[in-house]
Amino acid sequence: MKETVIDKFVRMCYDGFLQGWHERNGGNLSYRLDEEDIKEVEKLFVKEARHIEMPMAFEDLKGKYFLVTGSGKYMRNVPLAPEKNIGIIRIDDTGNGYDILWGLEDGAKPTSELPTHLLNHQVRYKATCGNCKVVYHAHPANITALSYTIEADSKILSRILWQSETECAVVFPEGVGIVDWMVPGQVGIARATAKLIEKYSAVVWAFHGIFGTGFDFDEAFGLVHTIEKASEIYLKAKSAGIVRTITDSQLLELAEAFNVKLNPEFLEV
């Protein structure tokens, strides 16, 4: 049977839980629906939608539809009752509010990180010529642990990741951004993240977790998975004692072989 867009969303939520990235109500996911997706789900829309105002306007997202996880909801429970734990919203014509068209039953609201999700969608949409549809926030242990071992510097982080697993430079040749510790769930951290997500497909939140984006669920999940794996390898190698690593000229060889352009600001050759 064909997997619907809601099925794919639910599967990603649970996949993240199985990885151990969603303790309690940690993490959240949003997906921008395209025309085809909307046709698939519009039969589910309620007649009288709940309307909610937001603390800021999202001018470029007016009229866009998003599947989102619910505030305070556990990723672990999403497959048991999608209509209670996730929902579909449509940003209204002012860009300053939204209507809940499906799900988030019993008065539930979208994720507490909605400002960061929507701002990331807005920025990434432009940066990828409309390709980016998924924004994913997770709390993987190794990425978070790694953020305690370095300054909050995107170059330092990106070089560590590129050097920790050969695949990394190919998967994120532009690097990975990092935002220093800030209070989550607020407009300030949303703006700081959006500034970096313009350049990087993923941004680490120091001492907290990561935001990863992608044109589909596989790409966004795979990106976070790759960064988490590289972080794990780095921490293991560091505790065993690093005696050598992938060199910059090897990174360049890799970039040539896989036809990607590494961010020149992060190279030292």
User: Which sequence positions are flagged as catalytic?
Assistant: 113
Segment 106 to 165, residues that bind ligand 2HA, using CB under 6 A: 112-113, 137
Query: Residue 28 touches which of Zn ion, ligand 2HA, none (CB < 5 to 8 A by kind)?
Result: ligand 2HA
Structure tokens at 83: 């209509």
Whole-number minimum distance, CB 28 to ligand 2HA, in Å?
6
Judged by CB, which is closer to ligand 2HA: 104, or 251?
104
Contact 176, 157 (CB under 8 A): yes
**Type of residue found at 266:** F
CA distance 75 to 28: 8
> Quick one: what does residue 97 bind among Zn ion, ligand 2HA, none, with the CB cut-off 5 to 8 Å set by partner type?
none
> Each residue of 131-159: b (16+ CB within 10 Å) or e?
ebbbbbbbbbbbbbebbeeeebebeebbb
Is residue 186 at the binding interface for ligand 2HA, with CB under 6 A as the rule?
Answer: no
Q: What are the beta bridge partners of residue 179?
A: 205
Binding mask 195-224 for Zn ion (x = CB under 5 A): --------------x---------------
Between the CA of residue 217 and those of 88, 94, 98, 105, 169, what are the distances in Å?
16, 29, 23, 24, 20
Out of 25, 30, 120, 231, point to the residue binding ligand 2HA (CB under 6 A).
25
Stretch that binds ligand 2HA, among 19-27, 120-128, 163-171, 192-200 (CB under 6 A): 19-27
User: Within 10 A of 264 (CB to CB), how many other CB atoms are there?
Assistant: 7
Applying CB under 6 A, among 11, 15, 26, 246 the residue interacting with ligand 2HA is 26
Looking at beta carbons only, is 70 or 209 nearer to Zn ion? Answer: 209
* DSSP letters for 3-39: PPHHHHHHHHHHHHHHTT---TT--EEEEE--HHHHH
Indicate the residue among 26 and 79 with the shorter CB distance to ligand 2HA: 26
Residues that bind Zn ion (CB under 5 A): 209
Residues that bind ligand 2HA (CB under 6 A): 25-28, 112-113, 137, 184-185
